[in-house]
Amino acid sequence: MATRHLFLSDLHFNHKLWQNELSFLQQEIGLYEGYLAEAAQRWSDKEVKSQLEHFQNQFIIQREQTEILVHDIKLAQQASANFAKEHEVAIDHKHFDDSAVALATLEERVNTHKDIYNELKGNFKTFLAKYL
């Protein structure tokens, strides 16, 4: 990935975007957990119960990983805010190298997390279509 030079407003935009995406993901996980509970009431077959447990565990992991990312984004926001307080005069002119502020790494983590979650979601929808 090429190095990007960003203003503080760009960093803030990215952080808010990721927070919103992750918030939506958390809400969606809650919906899928409701579907899991519904399916658990309908099915007593061992194979189906095993699949339900698998998905339940995967959603728990996704929720935990989302919470970690949200926390890390908040830390990045706080670091940006601290920089702005310490450098008020230059803040509108200061470019941030995305690798220097760990933006690229955080962005990669968020995107990887979304990819993994979307794969899980697709597998879960396939499961639901088969058994509900």
Nearest to 117 by CA among 23, 29, 53: 29
pLDDT of residue 88: 67
Which residue blocks in the chain are alpha helix, DSSP H? Answer: 8-42, 46-86, 103-131
Average confidence (pLDDT) over 17-32: 96
Residue 56 neighbours by CB under 8 Å, 6+ apart: 33, 36
Question: Is the per-residue pLDDT at 16 higher than 80?
Answer: yes
pLDDT of residue 8: 74
Question: Is the per-residue pLDDT at 44 higher than 70?
Answer: yes
Q: CB–CB of 37/78 below 8 Å?
A: no
pLDDT of residue 7: 73
For the chain, what is the mean pLDDT? Answer: 86
pLDDT of residue 77: 87
Confidence of residue 4 (pLDDT cuts 50, 70, 90): low
| Higher pLDDT among residues 103 and 43, named by residue | 43
Q: Which tens digits make up the pLDDT trace of 95-112?
A: 555 445 566 789 999 999
pLDDT of residue 96: 57
Burial per residue of 12-41, b for 16 or more beta-carbon CB atoms within 10 angstroms, e otherwise: eebbeebbebbeebeeebeebeebbeebee
